[in-house]
């Protein structure tokens, strides 16, 4: 259904990772160092990684990241997820989904812990990036080894990048801006490295931001 499959079905690891405790704090700047990659270790995930975009692989309109608002919480929306690196700055630009919305990480999460500290009302504002355990993850300029997954306490399979759970922000409108970047000193647009993405002041394009502090350079955008 998704066109030619370019990569193998995700292999199940032979040993489960030990879970570490989740950080409860919600403040502070993102760490200066990238989180270690999380192994694809969840035995409950039997999905597929495909290189390229959803459209390029023939994903059905109105499904996955392109599902209409009323379907965002339905199995139709969990059928596939796309993770795209910024074409202008693959290393430090913001990750986006198939609808062009920025993906975020939360400093309250413990990297590579295989758990999320955002649930309930938090997950309403910051919807986790989830996919069906037998769904498809389209990787657009993102290496497969950077992407992991775990099962949340609500039973949904959430994706990680560089060991960090990734989320969307309900306040983003689809115009390309990452309005959630820096909110509460705890939410940052994610780069493939697991650091805060480099954004210009309008939250659109990459710039030479100080990723360890989530701030912008004195010289402004590129």
Q: Quick one: CA dihedral 210, 215, 217, 221, positive or negative?
A: positive
Q: Are 204 and 144 in contact (CB under 8 A)?
A: no
Quick one: tokens of 85? 């690196």
pLDDT at residue number 37: 43
10 Å CB burial of residue 214 (0-12, 13-18, 19+) is: buried
Separation of alpha carbons 92 and 200, rounded Å? 12
Number of Cβ within 10 Å of residue 100's Cβ equals 13
Q: Are 138 and 59 in contact (CB under 8 A)?
A: yes
CB half-sphere exposure, 157, CA atoms < 13 A: 24
Separation of alpha carbons 210 and 218, rounded Å? 10
Which phi and psi angles does 185 have, rounded to 5°? 65, 20
Q: What is the DSSP letter of 191?
A: P
pTM reported for the whole predicted model: 0.74
pLDDT by residue, tens only, the chain of 222 residues: 444 333 433 333 333 333 333 333 344 444 444 444 444 454 566 899 999 999 999 999 999 999 998 888 899 999 999 999 999 899 999 999 999 999 999 999 999 999 999 999 999 999 999 999 999 999 999 999 999 999 999 999 999 999 999 999 999 987 889 999 999 999 999 999 999 999 876 555 443 333 333 332 222 222
Q: Are 6 and 53 in contact (CB under 8 A)?
A: no
CA angle 190, 36, 185 (to 5 degrees): 40
Which phi and psi angles does 140 have, rounded to 5°? -105, 95
pLDDT at residue number 19: 32
Q: What is the largest CA-CA distance in the chain?
A: 49
The radius of gyration of the chain's CA atoms, rounded to the nearest angstrom, is 16
């Amino acid at each position: 259904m998704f066109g030619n499959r370019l990569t193998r079905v995700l292999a199940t690891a032979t040993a489960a990772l030990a879970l570490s405790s989740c950080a409860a704090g919600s403040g502070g700047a993102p760490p200066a160092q990238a989180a270690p990659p999380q192994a694809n270790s969840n035995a409950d995930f039997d999905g597929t990684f495909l290189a390229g975009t959803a459209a390029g692989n023939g994903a059905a309109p109105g499904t996955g990241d392109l599902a209409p608002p009323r379907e965002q919480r339905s199995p139709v929306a969990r059928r596939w997820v796309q993770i795209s690196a910024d074409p202008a700055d693959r290393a430090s630009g913001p990750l986006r989904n198939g609808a062009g919305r920025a993906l975020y990480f939360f400093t309250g999460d413990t990297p590579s812990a295989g758990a999320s500290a955002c649930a309930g009302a938090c997950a309403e504002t910051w919807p986790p990036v989830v996919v069906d355990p037998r769904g498809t993850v389209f990787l657009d300029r993102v290496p497969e080894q950077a992407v992991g997954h775990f099962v949340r306490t609500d039973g949904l399979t959430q994706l990680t990048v560089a060991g960090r759970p990734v989320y969307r922000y309900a306040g983003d409108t689809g115009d390309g801006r990452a309005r959630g970047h820096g909110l509460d000193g705890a939410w940052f647009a994610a780069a493939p490295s697991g650091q805060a993405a480099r954004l210009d002041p309008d939250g659109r394009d990459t710039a030479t931001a100080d990723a360890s502090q989530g701030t912008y350079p004195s010289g402004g955008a590129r």
